[in-house]
Structure formats: C-alpha cells, structure tokens
Amino acid sequence: MSAAGFPRVSTALSAALRSRGAQRCGRVWWARAPSQSLRVLLRNYTPSLGSFGLRRQLYRLEREADLYPEDWRKQMILLEQLNREGSVQSAEKVIQRIESGRYALGEEAKYEYIKALVRVGKLEERSKTGGGLESVLRNIPGSGSVLSRTGNSSESGRLPRGAAEPPTAARYTDNFNSPLQMYAGEGTHPTSAGATAPSSARALMGGASGGASGSTEEPLVVTLAEPTFRTQLWKTIRTLGTVFLLMSGVGAVMEERGLSRGISMQQEVLPEEGNKNLRRFSDVKGCDEAKDELIEIVEYLKAPQKFTRLGGKLPKGVLLVGPPGTGKTLLARAIAGEAGVPFFYASGSEFEEMFVGVGARRVRELFNAAKKRAPCIVFIDEIDAIGGKRNPKDQMYMKMTLNQLLVELDGFSSSEGIIVIGATNFPESLDKALIRPGRFDRHVIVPNPDVRGREEILTLHTEKIPLADDVNLEILARSTPGFSGADLANLVNMAALKAAREGASLVTMENFEFAKDKIIMGAERRSAVISEENRRLTAYHESGHALVALFTDGALPVHKATIVPRGVALGMVAQLPEKDMTSMSRKQMLAKLDVCMGGRAAEELIFGPENVTNGAESDIEQATELAEAMVTRFGMSPKLGNMAYDIQREVCGELLHVVEKEVKRFLDESYQRAKQVLLTHEKELHRVAAALLEKETLGREEIIRIVRGDPLREQLSEETTVKSEEEAADTGSLAENVAARARGAVAAAAAKAGVPRPGKVPATAKTA
C-alpha cells in the first residue's frame, strides 16, 4: 500500500530505516524480510492518535481521495484508515466507496472490503446473495478474488479458510502525524503481496507475479482514470488566478515606475482643444519684434494660396530662442489662436523612455497626426532635449529620435500647411543638421522685455487686480530691469498675496516693493538670532558698499540696503540700473570692482586689519571673476593688449603669471580706491551704519538724505547720531588709517564725547 500524499519522513528516520534493510520506492518504504530491529523501530515510532486527531486525519484523507479519485494509492490509504477507526459508520463508508465503482482501487481493497463486511455483520448476507460478494470482488483489480481461491467461508464474520492473508504491514506515524506504510513479504515489491500490485500498474511497469499478468481466458484490462470535471475546473481556476495575480503585480510595478507608456500600444496624438489654452497676439506683451516676424506665419496659415501662387515657400520650421520666461510657448499658442488651426504641443523630454525606439515612434505618431489635421502647428518645447549635437559616444536611442525628427522635417512639403515651431534656451547646443536651411531655418529671438515692454506686461497682469492710487507701474517697470515676463507675473501675484494676507482691499506700492525685494534679494529671515556685535559689523559692511556706490562715478545706483538676513547673507545692498543696459564700459566695470571691495574696506577701517571677517567672501569672488574677464576676455589690460585668452586651456607658464599679476593689480587698485572713498566720507559711514542698526532697511532716497545730513525721520533722533559718533570713537584703528583732515575730525568727536579708545571688537559674521 502506498503512503503517497503524506509529508516525507525525517532524515534521521530515513537513515535508520535504510540501515535496517528497508528500501524506498517513491514515497513507500518496504523490506523483503523485515528484521526484528526494524519492527522494533517502527513500533517505537508509532504514536497513539486521539479520537480528535484521528477524525481530522480521516477528514483530510477523505478530501484528498475525493479530489483525486483516479489515484488508487490515496483510496487505499483512506479505506485502511476507516477500518482502523473501527466504528460501524466507517465500515459502512468503506463498503459504500468500494461498491460505488467510482474510485480506482488496488488489490488490497478486497481485504478492506471483507473487513468492513465483518465489522457490520453483513459478510454472510453478501455471501448468500447470488453473485453479490463475488461480483464486487471481481471488479477489484488483482488475480482473481479471495473467494474464488479459497472456497466458501465456513465461519461467519471471518475471512474464508485458506484465503491469502494481506501483506504483513507495520505502521508508524512521522512527526507530521501522517501514516506511513512499511510492507514486508517474501520476495515481494511494496505494491505486491501474493497477487501483489494492481494489474494496471503491473502492466505498465512490465512486472509479472503469480499469474497476474493476464491470459487469453482472463485478459488484463487496463483502465486509465480521467480527472473529473470538478478537478479540471479547480486546476483551471487556480492557473488563471495565478496568472492574473502575476500580471497585476507586474502591471503595478510598471505603472509605478512609469514604464507602461513605453510599451503601450500606439495611441492617437490629439491637438489641444477648448478655449482654456487659446491665446491671441493681444495676450503677448513685451516682444513686439518677435510678433511682427510671426505674423507672416499666421497669414500663411489663413491663406496659403496667397504665398504659393508665385512659387514662394515659407520655412518649415521656426526656432524661438530666448532666456526662460520670455513667452516663447505663449507666442506659439498665439499663432495657433490667431490662425484658428489645431495646436499640437510636445515637450522634448516626453519623447525619450528607457526603451529603445520609443522616442522615434512618438515622433512618427506626432507628425502622422499633424498631417491628418493640416494646416496646423506642431510646437516642441525644450527641443534641445532631443535635438542636441550628436556625439559618437551617445546612446543609440538618442540618435534614433533625432534622426527620426530630421526625416519627418524632410518628409512633408511646405505646401502641406504644417508649421513646426521649436523653443530652446540654448541654440548653440542644437545639432547643425537640425537648424540648416529647409528645417529650422528661421530663428526668432525673444529677449527679456525693455522698460516699455515691462510696463505693458505689468498693465496686462494687473487688469483684474484692484490697485491703490499710489501704484505707479511706470516706476515699477523702471525699477525691474532684467525681469522676464514670468518674473513680472510672479511679482504681481506675490504683491496681491501680500495684500490679501494683510486683509487689505487694494494692492499698494508697498506690496509691490516687498515682492520686488523678495525676488531680487530673497526672503527675509526675521527669526534668525544675530548678536549685537555681528549686527554692528554687518551694518558697517553694508554701509561701505552703499557709500562707495554713491561716491564712485559709473557705479549703478543703490536701490536698497538692509541688514535683515536674506537667503544665506546677513545683509545686502541691491543696485539697479536706471535704464536697460546692453553693455558695460571700462569705467563701469572698475566702479563695480570698487563697490565689491567697499565692504571689506569698511571692516578694516572700523575694526582693524586683524578683525576683518569672511563676510566679504562672495564680494571678493565676484570681483575676481570680473577682473579676470577684463584681462582675458575684454582686452582691458595694457600688458596683454586686445587679445582673448582661454585661461582653462591656452594660458600657462609665463603668460599665466602675467594674467594673475594683472588680475591682482586690478583688485589691489580697486581696494585702495574704495578705502580712500570711505576715509574721505567717514562721518557719512557712521551715520548710515547707525541708521541701518535702527531701521534695518534703507531705501535709496533715505540713504541720500542721511549722507547729506538731512533729518531722515522722527525715529532717527539726535541721540542716534551722537551714539554713532561715540561708537566711532571706540575704534582704535581709525587714527592709523585716516587722512589728516579726517583724523582731526575723529579726534574732535572723541574729545567731545569724552570716551577713551577701547579694544578691537571680534566679528565673524558673513555678509553679502
């Protein structure tokens, strides 16, 4: 009998069985002549099962036998366990399962059947019934029935006299409480005893034993048990469920990582619809020259015959070039809105994926959709993401995408009505094959707006915002040079939010100034804890910048000075030009160097050379970069002349020494000029520093009034001025550096205050 379906025995028990002469066939252990030690081993490993454990075991065995009716091993294990349980109900269940004929059975089933009949007391009844017991036993596989070999039974309730005894079996239960059969017979296989294995199994294995191989009179019938519909349905559902769970998991991972779009089926590309993104040229301000160049495109899209009747051709591609935020995308939408044609928008980064060939496929899909809806506009934003200069080391997918774009630009004629517009901030990075004539051959520059353009943009963005009477957009436009259209839109939005937070009903000029300062200088850090010594040092540092800017010819006007921490700086002096600047003269560059050195010069004059701080780090770095550019790029060095040098590659040896010498000369001369300005205007330096310590932030007009000696406001009393002079007397290093006239003024102020000279004040704060 087989023990198939149960967990295998432990390794230690397997070794013990094998050492005592047992052999293993599949999952069944058997022995030809079991020794006494083997029988003792099996007896010691046989635990006693309680009634509850036996019922659970019978339930499990019956479920497995019903699930696999074609497995005769599972059927035999169940029948034997039912007889072992010993109840009448179990015996009746054995009789019912054998007589039903729905289950595959081994030859040993006849013994289990007779045992069950004896248990319920029906053996004699079945024997007397004509052909009843004999017919049942005949249907069980084997070499004839028990009764046919032994004759009729002489005693009721027992096996017939002379009947072949079932094979000797020793049973034990392993650690998993599952029975395991150990068969012992003379010269028998574990599946045979007397007339051993089922006929079907023996026929398949080619084995023969005791006339059970079949003959002409008694042919051997082999029946293959087919799985039931229930079994097949369960296997199908289980397989489909596993596949579904696996595909769901893979799909979730791909969706999370954004990979599904790369392998998805081809989808139709559609133009933008609705009035949400519809724009007109009236919505575009600050770039009149660019609009004038693009009006020709609009007229062509409206009436193509007007241009093609004389054989003229418009460019296939238009490249919009300009810094970020100048309105390149807005211009492209305005062209589509004015012409009333479909607008296809695509970003350069949307084409590429981790899968090779996806970018080229998306380019084809985009242009195929555009050809179906011509005339139309195809706008590719940040085209340098896919149209950069090709390099032999580039990946293949990058080359494929660009090559496909070049093919598509050549694949349609200008008469088809498709205008391709690209936008980039770096035109020098584009591949030459992309911008050659016949592709993107027209370049439209979209620069930052000038004063008039900034005023128009501010007027456009403030149309729906209630403004106070003190708001002057012209002044605001003049004070925001270098601002792009996006910066101005952000300025208006920040001012409106500031007024809304304060609960005001109108947006004032003060709100706009706050927003402008936040954009230029960064957000204030009011929560920063600054010691009084560092505040005083920062005030003199920023006052030095402001005074040098005021008294140096060619310097940009001072916009605002503050000692409120903004960003990473403890203080800042902002300068804004009075008008738009397209170039800088030598005088303006030297003045900028002087302003950069003004903060360090003020620290040295007031606190002494040994107490200067690292607050001038960014100033010195900015000045060094400008001086180096003057020497190597702008040709402003008398020794090197009007030549440009690449200091990273071309300058070395003696030439590098000359360049460094000239840069140092520019910086040293600038520092001396800044120090001389502060020595000359030492009183003004103290007054501005005192005002900064009290108000923390000063505007241009306030600084000019303080320098002139005019009363600033009622908040700045005479006590503040006296206090600043007393602080000036506290600096012992001033007398060593001041000129004769300035030295006398300081001595008089110190004598008037009657304050002796203290020691030097340490300061380590970093200022801008």
Q: Tell me, what DSSP letter sits at residue 671?
A: H
Q: Is beta strand 558-562 parallel, antiparallel or unpaired with respect to 572-575?
A: antiparallel
Which residue has tokens 């088809």?
416
Q: How far out from the chain centre does Cα 363 lie?
A: 25
Helix (H/G/I), strand (E/B), else coil: 663: helix
CB 518 within 8 A of CB 564: no
CB 199 within 8 A of CB 214: yes
Which residue has tokens 């205007």?
681
Q: How far lies 502's CA from each of 511, 614, 697, in Å?
A: 10, 38, 20
The phi and psi torsions of 176 (rounded to 5 degrees) equal -95, 15
Distance between CA atoms of residues 376 and 316, nearest Å: 12
Torsion sign across C-alpha atoms 137, 138, 144, 148: positive
Q: Tell me, what DSSP letter sits at residue 616?
A: G
Radius of gyration of the chain (CA): 50
What six digits make up the tokens of 263?
Answer: 């392998």
Which residue has tokens 């997918």?
397
Distance between CA atoms of residues 133 and 110, nearest Å: 10
Among candidate residues 591, 605, 519, 583, the one with its CA nearest the CA of residue 554: 591
Q: How far lies 574's CA from each of 307, 524, 542, 562, 577, in Å?
A: 52, 14, 10, 9, 10
With a CB cutoff of 8 Å and minimum separation 6, the contacts of 248 are: none
Task: Tell me the sheet residues that pair with 5.
Answer: none
Q: Which of 108, 112, 456, 542 is catalytic?
A: 542
Q: Is beta strand 23-25 parallel, antiparallel or unpaired with respect to 28-31?
A: antiparallel
Secondary structure E strands in 666-730 = 697-699
Q: How far lies 88's CA from each of 92, 96, 360, 376, in Å?
A: 6, 12, 79, 90
Distance between CA atoms of residues 251 and 257, nearest Å: 10
Distance between CA atoms of residues 623 and 618, nearest Å: 9
Distance between CA atoms of residues 424 and 406, nearest Å: 17
Side chain identity at 732, as an amino acid letter?
G
Q: State the helix-helix crossing angle for 72-85 and 109-120, rounded to 10 degrees.
A: 30
**Residue 730 neighbours by CB distance under 10 Å:** 18
Distance between CA atoms of residues 316 and 319, nearest Å: 10
Which residues in 455-485 are b (16+ Cβ under 10 Å) and which e? bbbbebbbeeeebeeebebeebbbbbbebbb
542 noted as active-site residue: yes
Side chain identity at 92, as an amino acid letter?
E
C-alpha torsion 288→293→299→302, nearest 10: -90
Can the peptide bond before residue 219 be classed as cis, meaning omega within 30 degrees of 0? no
The phi and psi torsions of 265 (rounded to 5 degrees) equal -70, 160
The residues annotated as belonging to the active site are 542
